[in-house]
Amino acid sequence: MFEIFLKTLPFFGLIGLGYGAAKTRFFAEEAAGHITRFVFYFALSAMLLRFSANLTFSEIFDPHLAAAYLWGTAFTYGIALGVAFFRHLDTATSAIEAQCAAIGNTGFLGVPMLAVLLGQEAVGPIILILSIDLIVFSTLLTILVTGTRGNDRGMRVVRTVFLGLLKNPMIVSIALGLSLSASAVPLPEVVNSFLATLGAAATPGALFAIGMSLASKSAERIEVAAWLSFAKLILHPAFVAAGAYLFFPVDAYKASVAVSAAALPVAGNVYILAQHYGVAPQRVSASILVSTAASILTVSVVIGLVAVN
């Protein structure tokens, strides 16, 4: 377990480097947004496109793995919603809290880190998990938030969801890559090399951007952030483990990837959505900060418990 902790340190070290660069104002405050956009629209998209294009659909999609991850994530989501409703929060705020509890930083942290720690075979399951997060649960959040607002119902909600998916470069990259893979036409070597070179910037760029974004986060409403961080770092992997090992038995290696992905801290895009909809951005900010700091230890423990040698 200590060996795994040492292997995760360089990844969190890059996050710390970005945090320090932003905190000392080595970069202007708006630089974090620019770096994030580069990673999101170019580097990470190139990495996902290349991975998807060089994998078959069967290597990515496993119905048992999808069911196990969906079950564990939905269960965590439901508990967080229930706790929020018990505290008499409105539906939109409850949905944002549930998103914090159940959606991890799979794109920016999970794809680069887990592929290194667990091996390249982890890429297929990670892409499946990322797709479920983006398609199922981001859509659910949009429906819960916009569907409860009187000026945005029916077909407007459908349109918002559909456009949101079309504008997400990670979804587009994965879909395009799978289409190329299904065509059985291999990527030309020059294209593959270009995507590999551009995608290589995703890991350091994404981690540095996470650190920079954390520098602007505050730890207000710490008790709520602590609860949501506990749900994300402990409950979510525990429920996904129950799904993968008990209810929808999955190959041991794929199960370890799913549980490790579930152990990741709160996703940064939850904050973007909270800001976009004007729903509780401060508590999301605090949850990202607290969960990311705590995950330096908890991620190593979870991976150490489930990793298949």
Q: What is the SS3 assignment for 273-302?
A: HHHHHCCCHHHHHHHHHHHHHHHHHHHHHH
Note the pLDDT of residue 244. Answer: 97
Beta bridge partners of 104: 266
Q: Report in angstroms the alpha-carbon separations of 136 from 122, 167, 196, 239.
A: 21, 15, 29, 18
Domain holding 179: CATH number? 1.20.1530.20
What is the structure's pLDDT at 219?
67
In tens, the pLDDT along 140-172 reads 988 888 776 655 555 676 677 777 777 888 899
Quick one: tokens of 73? 């994530």
How confident is the model at residue 93, as a pLDDT? 95
CB atoms within 10 A of CB 304: 14
The count of domains in the chain is: 1
Q: Rounded CA gap, 91 and 49, in Å?
A: 36
Q: Please name the amino acid found at residue 194.
A: F
Whole-angstrom distance, CA of residue 97 vs CA of residue 74: 13
d(C-alpha 10, C-alpha 27), whole Å: 21
Contact 50, 195 (CB under 8 A): yes
Residue type, 125: P
The domain containing residue 111 runs over which residues? 2-306
Beta carbons within 8 Å of 146's beta carbon, 6+ residues apart: 152, 156, 157, 160, 277
| Confidence (pLDDT) at 157 | 66
The mean predicted confidence, pLDDT, of the chain is 90
pLDDT of residue 67: 97
Q: Which tops the pLDDT comparison, 67 or 275?
A: 67
- The percent of residues above 70 in pLDDT, for the chain, comes to 95
Q: How far apart are CA 88 and CA 180, in angstroms?
A: 48
- What is the maximum alpha-carbon separation in the chain? 57
pLDDT, one tens digit per residue, over 178-219 is: 898 888 778 899 999 999 999 999 999 999 999 998 888 776
